[in-house]
Amino acid sequence: MATQHENYSLVSITKRVSVYPKSSSPQQLLSLSNLDRQCPILMYLVFFYNPSHALKNLSINTVFSSLKSSLEETLSAWYPVAGRLTLNPSDGKLDLWCNNGGAILVEAVTQVKISELGDLSEYNEFHEKLVFKPSFNGNFSDMPLLVAQVTRFGCGGYSVGVGTSHSLFDGPAVFDFLRAWASNTTVIGSTGLDHQQHKPVHDRGTLLACMRSQPASAKLGKNPNSVSRVAAIDHLYLLIKQAARDWNHVSDGKLGGQKLSHTGSSNQDNYVLKTFHLSVSMIESLKRKIFREKRGSLPCSSFEVVAAHLWKARTKALGLRKERMVCLQFAVDTRTKMVPPLPQGFSGNAYVLASIALTAGELEEESHESLIERIKEAKNSVTTDYVCAYMEALEAPQTSLPPLKELTLVSDWTRMPFHKVNFLHGEAAFVSPLVPPITQVAYFMHSPTESRSIDVRIGLLPQTLTAFSHHFLTNMQ
């Protein structure tokens, strides 16, 4: 009899097919913006559906066939998803060839029970077996932009693991696509999100026009009098310079006040993914402690207060010297920030990073209330000029970042309730992102257990986990 550990390795792929649009569109080249070109890799989500009476009566073949036919229907409107990335011969940049090349859909089975995975909100290496990872030979034109795997568990529950190219979608766009796919699925009948969606707009015209119109003097904020200075790029450059100075002053086995071995642990593989559940009462408690004198509705969003608190907690846990520069960067959706705004249903990448920089000492002394005001100001700094200058800055050659532990990154998913995407029957028990390209990113996710509560998924260095947990959860009890 196989042990539970042995069962974990037993996920058997039983079927793999290419899925094409039901109604093919004429082949065409879709020009991408620089926001699309930043991270041309597959990003994965795993949807878990607990066993139910309705699901137990369904065969895996029925579920697979329904997902396949509904994907064919969905790809007709979302035709770039069936395409391939390609290098534009005129400038060598990535664009999207809408060639009806198809998506990949995989069927799999396992004897593992969902209950054996423990807390689904916590990352588990077994989750990696619930997605299909196509081999990549370095040629983007061979890489599908959508892969999906439906897995039936031994208990009768299911998972749907979906990988989508980040060059296709940002968070809101992938959420809209998955809602469209789920709404076409008729495994049992739709009980999830069913409100009217806007027709997808795949053309990046507004952002491309912005790129072409931006003067070269705004690149990287080179004009000190320009309103188009890109704080996120400026601050990142300063963090890299700080790291470079550290490497140039290595002595006595230390690097910038930190032991060399600790610097090595900044590698992606050494981060520990941890999820913190913040209930509504915990978030409100933190707000009340910050705004003691205020009455009525409090002057900040949950995102702003949690982001400020997380930045302070993470920096304190790192134990940095007071003169070290530290930085908070968070993603801002530019769909309504642009003038004119991007069209409703825009399906490309529309996020840029806003940024705040202080020294570790300044951050420790600064009040939560003051930090929240800085976050609001950083949000408001994202204008059409900022977006255009940001994309122009991305014209520079892109390289991998060195480990920058002083950089705190936050991505807000709270307006995207992925658990309500109903591929099967009812809401998902949990939707788990897999390891992101930058492991230290903190994702603020809409919790499936309580409305307005937040699940914070963050990558932490092992030696900071205990300290961060203490500092982060303080004032929330």
Residues marked active site are found at 166
The angle at the Cα of 188, spanning 185 to 192, to the nearest 5 degrees, equals: 65
What is the three-class DSSP state of 474?
coil
Q: What is the DSSP letter of 346?
A: B
Characterise 432 by phi-psi region: left (phi > 0), alpha (psi -120 to 50), beta (else). Answer: beta
Q: CA nearest 327: which of 439, 440, 247?
A: 440
Concatenate the DSSP letters of all residues of 136-201 into one string: --S-GGGS-SEEEEEEE-TTS-EEEEEEEETTT--HHHHHHHHHHHHHT--SS---S--SPPPPPB
| 226-231, Cβ contacts within 8 angstroms, sequence gap of 24 or more | 226/385, 226/389, 227/383, 227/385, 228/385, 228/386, 228/388, 228/389, 229/389, 230/386, 230/389, 230/390, 230/393, 231/354, 231/355, 231/356, 231/357, 231/378, 231/381
Q: What is the 3-state secondary structure (H, E, C) of 427-457?
A: CCCEEEECCCCCCCCEEEEECCCCCCCEEEE
How many other β-carbons are positioned within 10 Å of the β-carbon of residue 321? 11
Take residue 322 and report the two structure tokens written for it. Answer: 């007071």
What is the rounded distance in angstroms from the CA atom of residue 366 to the CA atom of residue 286? 16
Asked if 233 contacts 329 with a C-beta cutoff of 8 angstroms, the reply is: no
